[in-house]
Structure 1
Amino acid sequence: MSSFSENLKICRKRRRESQEVVAVHCGIAGGTYRRYESGEREPSLSMFCVFADYFGVTLDQLAGREPLPFGED
């Protein structure tokens, strides 16, 4: 699993939301979101930005280039 997919999962769990809830809020299908989180697919840059904005983190934090502002809960 890539740093991105791991961080995406950490961010979602921190908010205590399901994959479906995040997908709806970000305007994508639930299956697409699940593939991002499992590492089967990589999002476009614009979708990457949507996730970073939604979770309140920077692109570098979401990509794993910098630590997330919160640890793994």
Structure 2
Amino acid sequence: MDVRTVELLRNATFRKSDKSGDIGCVEVAFLEDTAGVRDTYDRGGPILAFKASEWIQFTTAVKNGDHDLP
């Protein structure tokens, strides 16, 4: 990831799901081809960055139950 993308993510508008509770939450921001994910309790901390296609693949798998506990 280039420096410009890192700076854009730092200044991006992050959102949290309406279904999210008050504990263990993450926020997501989207740029052109990047999804940034950060902890709501450490908004100034690290941001995980994924290609948009990777993020879509992950969220689709979650919705399909692929990561549910047995």
Normalised-by-shorter TM-score class? under 0.3
| Higher RCO structure, 1 or 2 (CA under 8 Å, sep 6+) | 1
Q: TM-score normalized by structure 1?
A: 0.27
Greater share of helix residues, 1 or 2?
A: 1
- Higher Cα Rg: structure 1 or 2? 2
